[in-house]
Amino acid sequence: MPSRVPDGGQRGWIIPIGGAENKENDRRILERFVRLSGGAEAEIIVIPTASRMHETGPRYEKLFREMGAGQVGVMDFDTRRDCQEPGRLRRLEAATGIFFTGGNQLRVTTLLGGTPVAKLIRQRNARGATVGGTSAGASILSEHMIAGGDEGSSAIDGSVRLAAGLGLTNRFIIDQHFRQRDRLGRLVTALSYNPFAVGIGLDEDTAAFIGPDDTLEVEGSGGVTIVDGADVSFSSIDATAEGQPICVLGMKVHFLTAGATFNLTTRTPSAGDLARRKE
């Protein structure tokens, strides 16, 4: 469950990224993560556990240093025992920014889920630390996580597998590489089981910057697809055979680009900067 924000405090930013974010020419997404983590005063921990490539962590460490972050370190986890080490916990306690790389989201949750590290990351975010992740590192941030599924734009019974994420919030469920891998169907299917959460489909090189007031702002070169099931009037998921299409009525879909916003509490979209440009 999400950690409670202390009285008088403010939750930190949550920044899921759709993967393949620009690391060379226009690095606005990663640069904004650094600024929100404290800039020159930031203490950022990179967690590359989702990836099995040894260069992943050092690559982000180098990038964040180039962007002006004060302190950057890499913290990988190979066993669940690693998640109990006092030294690692002390470093995370001091972190102002925590970043999860891409890879396999189930590798992260099976190693970190239910451990002191997972609990501490939730607590740090509730106390103001920025937590972000790209690709698989985006999927794990919420309480409900898409662990896998089929491509396609139709909602099909059995087309998505769900698992428990790290639980920074229960307000949304993330899918990434969204347009590039045609994942609308599996996100709609996930929400058809229980439309409490808001579905957030992130294109590559695109991020949702979710502030302490639960307002999501889009950044990057792609789009964010919002799937809102609050007004669903009917779903046939309970009576549909596996592999068959689902009937869902009343589900709303919004397509947001850079500058547009969506409030996760009121479920209200806004064109934001885009509307002002047309005036």
Show which residues are catalytic.
135, 177, 204
Assigned token pair, 178: 């969204």
Candidates 144, 139, 140, 270; CA nearest to 195 is 144
The contacts of residue 223 (CB under 8 Å, 6+ apart) are 179, 203, 206, 255, 256, 257
The contacts of residue 64 (CB under 8 Å, 6+ apart) are 30, 34, 42, 44, 46, 72, 99
How far is residue 107's CA from residue 93's CA, in Å, rounded to a whole number? 23
Q: Which long-range contacts (CB under 8 A, 24 or more apart) does 75-79 make?
A: 75/45, 75/46, 75/47, 76/47, 76/48, 76/49, 77/47, 77/49, 77/111, 77/112, 77/117, 78/111, 79/111
> What is the rounded radius of gyration, in angstroms, for the C-alpha atoms of the chain?
18
Buried b (16+ CB within 10 A) or exposed e, 97-115: bbbbbbbbbbbbbebbbeb
Report CA torsion sign: 143, 147, 151, 154.
Answer: negative
CA 26 to chain centre: 21
Candidates 28, 48, 147, 23; CA nearest to 101 is 48
How far is residue 181's CA from residue 161's CA, in Å, rounded to a whole number? 16
